[in-house]
A and B are shown apart, each in its own frame.
Chain A
Amino acid sequence: GQQVMQIPQYQHVQEGEDFTTYCNSSTTLSNIQWYKQRPGGHPVFLIQLVKSGEVKKQKRLTFQFGEAKKNSSLHITATQTTDVGTYFCAGELNNNAGNMLTFGGGTRLMVKP
């Protein structure tokens, strides 16, 4: 069935290294959202991308939406220990009734100080 896939599932980095997580959909997305979940916490909204090829930045975080609106990425420059957590993408499928987001499985980021 239609789903949203994320890779990698886990990533260990040394503090200061860069990190990227990728999100891929089997179908075109109307928009995509990114959430962060700290260990033991709940998902918190980071950003939403709507336009084809859109790029948005939040300090060290860069979010991209693919030209075909089937993939997205989150890149963190110079990771810090505060970046630890699981990053989820969530897409609104283009042929969906419009009532739910489909979440990816998440990428768990671990940062060694």
Chain B
Amino acid sequence: NAGVTQTPKFRILKIGQSMTLQCAQDMNHNYMYWYRQDPGMGLKLIYYSVGAGITDKGEVPNGYNVSRSTTEDFPLRLELAAPSQTSVYFCASSYSRVRDTQYFGPGTRLTVL
């Protein structure tokens, strides 16, 4: 099992550009999450999904969109990138409930200039 994979590892965007951060898991997990981690800070939940076709907002959803068309994939879309979105983005998954262990991907380091 590859676990949770994320691409790209690094990206530099100009203000106003858009991009999609990819996340995939091969553990047949129902729950998937997107977090952002600002330098020296904790994790903030952006969006989450409890299954294919179902997504919901987390703590900091503004400026982002998600979709979940399959169990395996949970892409995060940034529209009109802003410097405030400079952060490390982690995707995670868990089997069936929020109390199940969350498995994190390696992260995408995004800089918006």
Contact = CB atoms under 8 A, between A and B. Distances in A.
Contact of A48 (B42, B101, B104): B101
Nearest to B100: A48
Interface residues of B, number: 25
B99 A45 contact: no
B104 A42 contact: yes
A111 B84 CA distance: 32
Interface stretch (A12-20, A55-63, A97-105): A97-105
Interface string A30-51: 1101010000011111001010
B48 A100 contact: yes
A65 interface: no
Q: In which size bucket is the chain A interface? A: 20 to 34
Contacts of B104: 42-44
Contacts, number: 57
B58 A43 contact: no
A32 B69 CA distance: 30
Nearest to B101: A45
Contacts of B50: 99
B58 A42 contact: no
Given A43-B90, A43-B104, A44-B104, A103 B99 contact: no
A85 interface: no
A99 B48 contact: yes
Contact of A105 (B33, B41, B45, B106): B41
Interface of B: 31, 33, 35, 40-45, 48, 50, 56, 58, 90, 92, 97-99, 101-107
Interface of A: 6, 30-31, 33, 35, 41-45, 48, 50, 88, 90, 92, 96, 98-101, 103-106, 108
